[in-house]
Structure 1
Amino acid sequence: MPTPSRTTNDQVIAAASEILESNGAAGLTMQAVAVRVGVRAPSLYKRFRDRDALLAEVIAATIDSLGDRLVAAEPDLARLAATYRDFAHERPEAFRLMFTASAPYESLLAAAEPLIRSASALVGEERALDAARLFTAWATGFLQMELSGAFRLGGDVDRAFDYGLERLVAGLRA
């Protein structure tokens, strides 16, 4: 197999992200990534210690991408929620992995800042982190259930999401 003149870490991470979304975490192997970027698998180990290190980079890139989108959506909490939900639907496999122990603290902190600022506008600076955690726990739980197909009782899931968000924001404002 001919080796490309250059393969960047960003290209490897992007390829790994694509494989993660199409084949799930189990399908993300160093061999699959190597084939996708046109190199031999051993050459990836010069850049990433092992599969877990590569997966950690994919998770960091995922969180950074979400953070960029959230910055563009702030300060409106409804826009933040819609952005968060859209991201989860676009990248469900990576979304599921964002809340694991291998998610880098710095990326999580940066991604949380738009939500914390928006929450601060609703509840004040003193309770902003609490409000942001409440929002994140509700939205993430809702989305995890939605992505796994757990809402099987009928009804309009979009309407339920909107209703939950309205009630959450009303509660925060009270």
Structure 2
Amino acid sequence: MPTPERTSLDAIVAAGRELLESSGPAGLTMQAVAQRVGVRAPSLYKRIRDRDALLTAVATASADDLTRRLDAAGDDLASLARAYRDFAHAHPEAFRLLFTAAAPEDALHRASAPVLHACADLVGSEHALEAARLFTAWATGFLQMELAGAFRLGGDVAEAFDYGMSRILAGLTTA
């Protein structure tokens, strides 16, 4: 008689995402995930090959979460920027993980589709990729600095984000 399934890939990935946020990348270990889902570590290897595969699965799930948030945000770049910022604040470690080699290219392509579409609406399809790169580079840099606590000169950081987004939009629409 086969042994019963004690966990699922979905449960493993969910536990991995929780551990990533609570303990950072160093705390995302096979042992910690096994404890979180209530199995012994060797049982995880039936579902996940190794820690690198675990990181990839967590990055994929995170990118898919971001994609759902962006899809729900609407078609304009300002709404997408707010959804992007909300995701970064809700899941800072997952946000950072998306900019590592663990994040698979296909998941990143899915997450970039709403931004590319919004940029095509603003500047036309000929320059959509360049506009999307400009937006993503600015927003990601801003958010990385914000999450790191690097804005120390006072003022309202949310207002600064909105100001920056308005300037990006103004620049894109006049180009």
Q: Please tell me the residue identity of whatever aligns with 1:65.
A: D
Task: Tell me which residue corresponds to 2:162.
Answer: 162
**1:82-130: CA deviation from partner (whole Å, max 9, x where unpaired):** 0000000000001001011221111111111111000001000000011
Partner AA of 2:108 in structure 1: L
Query: Are 2:68 and 1:68 equivalent residues in the alignment?
Result: yes
Could you tell me how far apart the structure 1 residues matched to 2:162 and 2:4 are? 48
Deviating 4+ runs (over 4 angstroms): none
Matched, 1:39 2:8: no
Q: Distance in 1 between matches of 2:127 and 2:160?
A: 26
Paired residue total: 172
Contact 1:13 1:57 in 2 (8 A): yes
Change (3 A) 1:170 1:46: same
Structure 1 alignment gaps of length 5 or more: none
1:119 corresponding residue in structure 2: 119
Deviations 1:37-67 (A, max 9, x none): 0000011112111111101110011001101
Q: Distance in 1 between matches of 2:130 and 2:4?
A: 49
More off after superposition, 155-164 vs 67-76: 67-76
Give RMSD over aligned pairs.
1.2
> SS of the counterpart of 2:145?
helix
Offset at residue 74 of structure 1 (A): 2.5
1:120 maps to a residue whose letter is A
Paired residue type of 1:79: S
Contact 2:13/2:57 (CA < 8 Å) preserved in 1? Answer: yes
Partner of 2:9: 9
- Does residue 104 in structure 1 map to residue 107 in structure 2? no
Structure 1 residues 4 and 166: alpha-carbon distance in aligned structure 2, compared to 1, 3 A threshold: farther
1:93 aligns with 2:113: no
TM-score by length of 2: 0.95
**Percent identity of the aligned residues?**
66
**Aligned residue for 2:84?**
84
Q: Is the 8 A contact 1:4 1:39 kept in 2?
A: no
TM-score scaled to structure 1, two decimals?
Answer: 0.96
Specify every segment of 5 or more residues in structure 2 that has no aligned partner in the other structure, as ranges.
Answer: none
Which is worse superposed, 71-80 or 115-124?
71-80
1:4: how far off? 7.4
Q: Please say if 1:22 is aligned against 2:43.
A: no
